[in-house]
């Protein structure tokens, strides 16, 4: 049987550990916590750092919520569970750095359980992490994907990395723009193959691997000099993040459909952003270079 208490305890501890590490990396900013309860059942802890030295805004939330009817966004791939009582818990984060040379990043790990009438509970895990640079560096992209591959090594090795890397490329893709949200990473959902312990072990590896993937980039890029041109391009590209989260993201849709806490659901959005009609970067410019990184690629082969 699934050890739900162990999942709950791990996720709360993961939130604590990531907050402590990001506060240490920032040096000035501190997370402020909102603890909240959901009328239909459960609650969570939303933590946001505003106007830190490194992070303009960093949000990380833990939630453990339940309901009487599984929302359509969660049952789309499991129609037999439509309308079943459910429980969901997870940790989700999005960090928006101040420096345009330090990428925005997202990580999420989650557990779902549905209890259809007359059947045993049906459970699954999901999660992953991905990277959204504005001014990409090959060594950063290589490190990010090397860390992702190491995470996968005990759980199917190269095959697991390739499968979840490709899933990430497909999922974090702005279909209306014909471009990826960033340079990818790992993404998976509906994971129950191999039993609870194996799936929980992999989910822990993804959650624990996030800081190994991201903190070295913080150290490398947080003090890179930049000017107003880079800042304005960062704000423009943040608009793509808004577009994806509001148009395509299943997690946002699930939160809103399930009557979740709106502030917590939308804390992934950047604090400042700009939209510009018909923007075209100057050919050959550093801004134009980004387009080459928004096409799903075999990064480890190309950057070896």
Examine the pLDDT at 54 and tell me if it is beyond 90.
Answer: yes
Fold of the domain built from segment(s) 4-303: oxygen-dependent coproporphyrinogen oxidase (3.40.1500)
Q: If you search the block for the tokens 């709106």, which residue do you land on?
A: 262
Examine the pLDDT at 258 and tell me if it is beyond 80.
Answer: no
Nearest Cα neighbor of 91 from 164, 23, 14 is: 14
Average pLDDT over residues 72-84: 71
Who's near 256: CB < 8 A, 6+ residues apart?
262, 265
Other CB atoms within 10 Å distance of the CB of residue 110: 21
Confidence of residue 15 (pLDDT cuts 50, 70, 90): very high
Determine the pLDDT at residue 119: 81
Residues placed in the known binding site for a divalent metal cation? 96, 106, 145, 176
Annotation marks residue 8 as catalytic: no
CA dihedral 180, 166, 126, 159 (to 10 degrees): -160
Determine the pLDDT at residue 74: 65
Who's near 50: CB < 8 A, 6+ residues apart?
29, 32, 56, 57, 271
Average pLDDT over residues 246-271: 83
Structure tokens at 294: 């928004």
Average pLDDT over residues 91-112: 97
Residues placed in the known binding site? 92, 96, 106, 108-110, 145, 176, 259-261
Q: What are the pLDDT digits (tens) for 132-187?
A: 999 999 999 999 999 999 999 999 999 999 999 999 999 999 999 999 999 999 99
Sign of CA dihedral 216, 220, 223, 228: negative
Q: What is the distance between the alpha carbons of residues 260 and 254, in angstroms, rounded to a whole number?
A: 8
Confidence of residue 107 (pLDDT cuts 50, 70, 90): very high
Per DSSP, the residues of 229-297 read HHHHHHHHHHHHHHHHHHHT-HHHHHHHHTT--HHHHGGGS-SS----TT--PPTTSHHHHGGGGSS--
pTM: 0.94
Window from 114-128, 186-200, 223-237 with minimum mean pLDDT: 114-128
Which of 8, 77, 106, 143 is an active site residue?
106
Average pLDDT over residues 85-95: 95
């Amino acid at each position: 049987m699934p050890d739900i208490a162990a999942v709950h305890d791990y996720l709360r501890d993961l939130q604590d550990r990531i907050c402590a590490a990001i506060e240490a990396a920032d040096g000035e900013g501190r997370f402020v916590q909102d603890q909240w309860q959901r009328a239909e059942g459960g609650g969570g802890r939303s933590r946001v750092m505003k106007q830190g030295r490194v992070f303009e805004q960093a949000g990380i939330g833990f939630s453990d919520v339940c309901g009487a009817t599984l929302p359509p966004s969660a049952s789309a791939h499991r129609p037999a569970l439509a309308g079943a009582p459910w429980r969901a818990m997870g940790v989700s984060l999005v960090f928006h750095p101040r420096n345009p040379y330090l990428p925005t990043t997202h990580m999420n790990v989650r557990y779902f359980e549905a209890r259809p009438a007359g059947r045993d509970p049906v459970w699954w895990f999901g999660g992953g992490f991905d990277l959204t640079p504005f001014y990409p560096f090959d060594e950063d992209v290589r490190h990010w994907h090397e860390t992702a591959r190491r995470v996968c090594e005990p759980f199917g090795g190269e095959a697991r990395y390739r499968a979840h890397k490709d899933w990430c490329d497909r999922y974090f893709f702005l279909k209306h723009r014909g471009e990826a949200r960033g340079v990818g990473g790992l993404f998976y959902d509906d994971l129950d193959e191999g039993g609870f312990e194996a799936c929980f072990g992999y989910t822990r590896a993804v959650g624990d691997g996030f800081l190994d993937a991201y903190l070295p980039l913080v150290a490398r890029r947080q003090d890179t000099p930049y000017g107003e041109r880079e800042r304005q391009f960062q704000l423009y590209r943040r608009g793509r993040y808004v577009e994806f989260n509001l148009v395509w993201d299943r997690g946002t849709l699930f939160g809103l459909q399930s009557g979740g806490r709106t502030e917590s659901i939308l804390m992934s959005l950047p604090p400042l952003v700009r939209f510009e009609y018909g923007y075209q970067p100057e050919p050959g410019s550093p801004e134009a270079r980004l387009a080459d990184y928004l096409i799903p690629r075999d990064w480890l082969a190309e950057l070896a």
